[in-house]
Amino acid sequence: MEQAFLKYLAQQKQTLPTETLGIGDDAAVLSWPAETKLVVCTDLISDETDFHLADVTPQQIGRKALAINISDIAAMACQPVGALLTLLLPKGDVSLPLAQGIYEGAAQLGEQFGCPIIGGDTNTWPGKVAVSVTVFGRCPAEKPLLRKGAQPGDAIFVTGQLGGSILGHHIDFTPRVHEALQLRQICGLSAGMDLSDGLSIDLPRLCEQSRVGAEIESRPLPVSPAAIQMAAGTGKTPQWHALNDGEDFELLFTVPAGEVERLEREWSGPVPITRIGTILADPGVWLVNEKGSREPLQPEGFSHQ
């Protein structure tokens, strides 16, 4: 299978930056501007944990595997420049078309974000599909945006809409690279991350790294139509789903109070941004519900533990 897949890869065309060497040699080569920081992330997805092979196409698997890593690069307000794709596939005749489809889905998304597939590996085993991706990113500013850096009084924002991702968004979302870079041009972001496990889990992580607390409001949460649909079947509120459903892959970021007005005035992207709360000096993450009552935000999002 491996040799047939390598022959297939040799026939594929990707747009590579000047002086970049991709698939076909013993290692890939990337040119790197002096004094520019390298940002690297990796993640693995597998059948029956992150997707169900019976319900998705190989192309969707490859797209998601790359997208979750590009989302991590976007969370640091950086630009992806190349990716390694490693496949572990079931033995048998299915392995080659699976490999080809997964590569195709990843390569199409990579082309969209200037992040070509420049290498990787493949193997078969008597088990289920697993896909590992490593993405290399370049920081266009002095330093990447970190979870550490939020200050008391900073405004808390999110991009897009939240909740209900299991109804489809988790498999076909668009990483917020363009939005992160535009945000950084407009204002001085103080901290940020992407929402992978749900706002109720991820916001406390940002606060812990920044050694601050936070208060958010239920009323302005940008609830997705999918969250409303989920609520109709679960008996929970749409706001609960917006707070707790995982794999939104939207940006969670903080902005100094003095720059909020400029951000809201100058933001022109097609993806909306919404102010949902404020960073506090004292530890603890609080939720002001629709009745105006203040209560601790319970971390009920998705946990890998």
**pTM for the whole structure:** 0.94
pLDDT of residue 305: 46
43 known ligand binder:
yes
Q: Specify the length of the chain in residues.
A: 305
**Average pLDDT rounded to a whole number, residues 18-29:** 80
pLDDT at 226 over 50: yes
194 known ligand binder:
yes
202 known ligand binder:
no
Q: What percent of the chain has pLDDT over 90?
A: 82
Q: What percent of the chain has pLDDT over 70?
A: 98
213 known ligand binder:
no
8 known ligand binder:
no
**Average pLDDT rounded to a whole number, residues 124-132:** 96
Q: Domains plus CATH for the chain? A: 2-138 (3.30.1330.10), 155-296 (3.90.650.10)
**Average pLDDT rounded to a whole number, residues 213-221:** 97
72 known ligand binder:
yes
pLDDT at 280 over 60: yes
154 known ligand binder:
no
Q: Specify the DSSP class assigned to residue 127.
A: S
Q: What is d(CA 154, CA 175) in angstroms, rounded to the nearest whole number?
A: 24
**Average pLDDT rounded to a whole number, residues 82-86:** 96
278 known ligand binder:
no
237 known ligand binder:
no
**Average pLDDT rounded to a whole number, residues 90-96:** 92
pLDDT bin (cut points 50, 70, 90) of residue 303 is: low
pLDDT of residue 302: 61
Q: What is d(CA 74, CA 137) in angstroms, rounded to the nearest whole number?
A: 9
5 known ligand binder:
no
pLDDT of residue 301: 66
Q: What is d(CA 98, CA 128) in angstroms, rounded to the nearest whole number?
A: 12
pLDDT of residue 24: 79
211: helix, strand or coil: coil
CA-to-CA dists, residue 34 to 28, 38, 236, angstroms:
19, 11, 52
Q: Which token pair is 112?
A: 């969209």
Q: Specify the DSSP class assigned to residue 294.
A: E
229: helix, strand or coil: helix
Contact criterion met (CB below 8 Å) for 194 and 137 = no
Q: What is d(CA 102, CA 64) in angstroms, rounded to the nearest whole number?
A: 9
Q: What is d(CA 151, CA 257) in angstroms, rounded to the nearest whole number?
A: 10
Burial class of 294 by CB neighbour count within 10 A (0 to 12, 13 to 18, 19+): exposed
**Which stretch of 74-83, 104-113, 147-156, 292-301 has the lowest confidence by average pLDDT?**
292-301
Q: Which of 36-40, 155-159, 296-300 tops mean pLDDT?
A: 155-159
**Which stretch of 127-131, 138-142, 151-155, 288-292 has the lowest confidence by average pLDDT?**
138-142
Burial class of 93 by CB neighbour count within 10 A (0 to 12, 13 to 18, 19+): exposed
Q: What is d(CA 109, CA 61) in angstroms, rounded to the nearest whole number?
A: 11
**Average pLDDT rounded to a whole number, residues 104-127:** 95
Contact criterion met (CB below 8 Å) for 160 and 176 = yes
